[in-house]
Amino acid sequence: MLRIMGSALAVAALVTFSVPADAQAAGKKVKVVESVTLDAPPSKVWGVVGDFGSLGWHPAVKSTTAPNGNTAGSERRIDLGGPVLVEQLVRRNDKKQSLTYKILDNGENQKVLPVQGYVSTIRVKPSGKGSTVTWSSTFDPAPGSDEASAKKAIQGVYRGGLDNLPKVVGKS
């Protein structure tokens, strides 16, 4: 079942947060972990979420480009229909079905998300006859943002994408 509210929150979180670029870091690491269990085999789910160059499964993403694909160091540009994020693939492991990336540019001259020092991992693991996708991150709240609002924004982004996966992946 999709959570329409989660998708709406994700879009709102991606588009509404603005933080001055020259502000100082809050300095406190925040951790967010969200997951979803799907009635689809891990290989099928990894085929969707494991492609660093494609975030088409997230409803807030208009398009994604990653010229160097799934190679460590590859950068992807995520067009949100206005703001653009730039992220870099830190590592990808097909055997463990996990990838780790970091934000390089949080919306060019504007801050799309109220975070800095953001590093995130997406993992797919078997769960019964299906699979569980876990999306986690650590980051500092951006200057002018507090821990609670930064955490809520990232949780909204994650829920928007994870709650859309059943629709995208379907069943086995």
Q: What 3-state DSSP class applies to 8?
A: helix
Q: What is the pLDDT of residues 21-38, one digit of tens each?
A: 333 444 569 999 999 999
Q: How high is the mean pLDDT of the chain?
A: 84
Q: What are phi and psi of 100, to 5 degrees?
A: -125, 135
Q: What is the pLDDT of residues 133-154, one digit of tens each?
A: 999 999 999 888 899 999 999 9
At residue 6, does pLDDT exceed 70?
A: no
Which whole-number Å values give the CA distances from 107 to 11, 22, 69, 80, 155, in the listed order?
14, 14, 21, 10, 18
Query: What pTM was computed for the model?
Result: 0.82
| Arithmetic mean of pLDDT, 120-129 | 97
**Domain architecture of the chain: domains with CATH:** 4-169 (3.30.530.20)
For residue 26, the model assigns a pLDDT of: 40
Residues 6+ apart with CB under 8 A from 56: 64, 168
For residue 143, the model assigns a pLDDT of: 87
For residue 112, the model assigns a pLDDT of: 84
Sign (positive or negative) of CA dihedral 27, 28, 29, 33: negative
| Arithmetic mean of pLDDT, 97-103 | 97
